[in-house]
């Protein structure tokens, strides 16, 4: 059974974050979620609009909700947390009549009725779920240690975003675990990376992104999985700037969670767009595979030694968890 | 007991410099009950930007409670808030602190304050790109900001990595149909101030 959802790609996803859009579409297709683009969508206004005026922000976002409504799309999903916040904020504030009148004055026509907006992460988690993903995994990410980085606004403020835990979100954790990855305990899941300050206040962005990278490295992650094009740009494309400021040389790759999921689902290279990442993913995958192989060899050697000591030869290696208590 | 207490112990005059109209306006535009802030400091404790603020966010809230308009509107903090929503999420009194910061920034703009000039330049360049193309044209925005910021070479080093990975489009990715014109019209109506008094908008135009 296929599920049809409205899809709002957002501006970054047709430029610097094209790999997020391509891998999102590919994962949804592979998992039976049909996406119908909001016709002739325009910019949601993002952060700059709401920092200038709330009516302007509302009108820019509401134009897209109107487009969705006209196309008969009752639910709209978007991969970008900033687009999601803009669409949900407009949708929520339009319930206020005075605000709605101001937005309509800018739109030049009646505002849209309520439209349900979700992140593609939420849609994947709620409609397919970890079990649904697990059933379709062809190339499990066994041994890959992933720090899941949600960014600041995917789940906040909780009253508006209404999905997952605002302080310790787990939806991405569960989906990547279903892909066979090992999700490490990462205390900075929702800390800010410096957002759009890369251009106007590079020093601020460098300090904040360096904290995220330091923490990911200290918890032993192989990769940082992200769900936001701005987080990805700060941690990956701007890595040289961040490393230069912190005096470190951290090389952790920063793939979108949909690229990791697509890899596990066995999707073709062209739909994963891994070469678009500035820090390559391959060395991390190779290191995880080597570590896994070494771990297996070590367990086998231990089991063999134990069997020899007890004088009871065993053909199968024994995992510590399966062994009976003494 | 001495006849005159030491200066440090003299009562403060909380009414001095209090601008009630400012307090009412912030409350109205943000929709928040500003009196309910009891200065616990939870917002500041969780704020990733406290390090760069000139006034920590709980003290910005206090300035609003005291009606000290100029101090609140001229600070750098309101321009450095990224709306990461940690403060709003953690406020024990459910005050949308990030919305209050947003509203103060709107008022500061209208009053002509912009101590973080480049933050304002970035937002203006971004919106100019949207007004022109209907969507953000990233390369155009970067070029426009580089010229206006006076730091043209800051991000030049990112060019090769973006070019070799096909991340830099040289032409805007514009929407079809009348979409671009509709967005331009939203910005035109905004520049005319139509949102300010929507119900009496036509009358105001008639007078003009």
CATH number assigned to the domain comprising residue A184: 3.40.50.11810
What homologous superfamily is domain B20-110 in, according to CATH? Answer: Alpha-helical ferredoxin (1.10.1060.10)
Residue A308 lies in a domain: no
Same domain, A47 and A179: no
Virtual torsion, Cα B2, B5, B6, B8, nearest 10 deg: 150
Residue B175 forms contact with A (CB below 8 Å): yes
Q: Please, where in chain B does CATH 1.10.1060.10 lie?
A: 20-110
Same domain, A67 and A198: no
The answer to whether the Cβ–Cβ distance between B52 and A152 falls below 8 Å is no
Same domain, A10 and A50: yes
Residues of chain A positioned with their CB less than 8 A from the CB of B145: 199-200
Same domain, A110 and A183: no
B25-34 pLDDT tens trace? 999 999 999 9
Instruction: Give the residue from A52, A58, A188, A196 with the most B CB atoms within 10 Å of its CB, the best one to mutate.
Output: A52
- Of the residues A88, A120, A152, the one at which a domain ends: A120
Q: Which residues pair with B82 in a beta bridge?
A: none
ipTM of this predicted structure:
0.92
The CB-side HSE value for A240 (13 A sphere, CA atoms) comes to 11
CATH number assigned to the domain comprising residue A107: 1.20.1050.140
Same domain, A281 and A143: yes
Q: What is the pTM of this model?
A: 0.92
Same domain, A143 and A280: yes
Q: Nearest CA to CA, how far is A223 from chain B (Å)?
A: 20
Query: Are B162 and A237 spatial neighbours (Cβ–Cβ below 8 Å)?
Result: yes
Same domain, A229 and A261: yes
pLDDT tens, residue order, chain A (326 aa) = 457 899 999 999 999 999 999 999 999 999 999 999 999 999 999 999 999 999 999 999 999 999 999 999 999 999 999 999 999 999 999 999 999 999 999 999 999 999 999 999 999 999 999 999 999 999 999 999 999 999 999 999 999 999 999 999 999 999 999 999 999 999 999 999 999 999 999 999 999 999 999 999 999 999 999 999 999 999 999 999 999 999 999 999 999 999 999 999 999 999 999 999 999 999 999 999 999 999 999 999 999 999 998 875 555 555 555 555 54
Same domain, A94 and A169: no
Q: Is the bond preceding A157 in cis, omega lying within 30 degrees of 0?
A: yes
| Number of domains, chain A | 2
Host domain of residue A227: 139-285
Same domain, A256 and A153: yes
Same domain, A259 and A230: yes
Q: Among A8, A1, A10, A7, which residue's Cα sits nearest to residue A230?
A: A10
The residue with tokens 């060395």 is: A283
Give the sign of the dihedral formed by CA A226, CA A227, CA A232, CA A235: negative
Residue A24 lies in a domain: yes
Same domain, A281 and A144: yes
Same domain, A98 and A225: no
């Amino acid at each position: 059974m296929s599920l049809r959802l409205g899809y709002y790609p957002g501006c970054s996803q047709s430029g610097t974050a094209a790999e997020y859009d391509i891998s999102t579409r590919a994962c949804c297709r592979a998992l039976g979620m049909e996406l119908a683009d909001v016709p002739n969508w325009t910019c949601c206004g993002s952060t700059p609009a709401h920092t200038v005026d709330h009516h302007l922000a509302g009108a820019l976002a509401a134009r897209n909700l109107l487009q969705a409504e006209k196309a008969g799309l009752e639910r709209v999903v978007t991969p970008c947390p900033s687009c999601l916040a803009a669409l949900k904020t407009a949708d929520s504030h339009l319930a206020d009549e005075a605000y709605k009148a101001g937005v309509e004055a800018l739109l030049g026509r009646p505002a849209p009725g309520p439209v349900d907006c979700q992140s593609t992460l939420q849609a994947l988690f709620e409609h397919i779920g970890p079990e649904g993903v697990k059933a379709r995994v062809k190339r499990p990410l066994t041994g890959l240690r992933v720090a899941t980085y949600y960014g600041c606004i995917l789940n906040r403020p909780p009253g508006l975003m209404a999905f997952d835990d605002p302080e310790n979100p787990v939806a991405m954790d569960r989906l990547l675990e279903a892909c066979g990855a090992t999700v490490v305990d990462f205390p900075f899941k929702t800390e800010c990376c410096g957002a759009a300050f890369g251009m106007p206040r590079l020093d601020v962005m460098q300090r904040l992104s360096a904290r995220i990278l330091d923490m990911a490295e200290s918890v032993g992650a192989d990769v940082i999985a992200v769900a936001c094009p701005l987080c990805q740009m700060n941690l990956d494309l701007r890595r040289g700037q961040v490393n230069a400021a912190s005096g470190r040389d951290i090389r952790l790759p920063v793939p979108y969670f949909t690229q990791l999921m697509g890899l596990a689902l066995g999707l073709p290279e062209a739909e994963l767009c891994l070469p678009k990442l500035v820090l390559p993913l391959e060395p991390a995958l190779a290191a995880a595979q080597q570590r896994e192989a070494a771990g297996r060899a070590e367990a086998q050697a231990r089991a063999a030694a134990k069997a020899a000591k007890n004088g009871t030869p065993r053909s199968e290696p024994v995992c510590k968890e399966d062994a009976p208590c003494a | 007991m001495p006849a005159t207490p030491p200066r440090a112990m003299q009562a403060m005059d909380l009414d001095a410099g209090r601008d009630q109209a400012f307090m009412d306006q912030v409350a109205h535009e943000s929709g928040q009950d500003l009196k309910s802030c009891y200065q616990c400091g939870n917002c500041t404790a969780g704020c990733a930007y406290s390090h760069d603020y000139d006034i920590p966010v709980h003290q910005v809230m206090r300035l609003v409670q005291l009606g000290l308009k100029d101090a609140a509107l001229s600070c750098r903090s309101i321009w450095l808030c990224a709306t990461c929503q940690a403060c709003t999420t953690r406020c024990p009194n459910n005050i949308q602190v990030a919305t209050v910061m947003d509203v103060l920034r709107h008022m500061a703009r209208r009053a002509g304050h912009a101590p973080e000039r480049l933050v304002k330049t970035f937002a203006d360049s971004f919106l100019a790109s949207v007004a022109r193309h209907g969507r953000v044209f990233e390369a155009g925005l970067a070029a426009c900001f580089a010229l206006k910021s006076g730091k043209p070479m800051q991000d030049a080093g990112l060019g090769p990595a973006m070019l070799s990975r096909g991340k830099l489009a040289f032409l805007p990715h514009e929407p079809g149909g009348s979409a671009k014109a509709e967005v331009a019209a939203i910005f035109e109506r905004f520049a005319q101030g139509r949102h300010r008094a929507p119900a009496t908008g036509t009358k105001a135009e008639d007078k003009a």
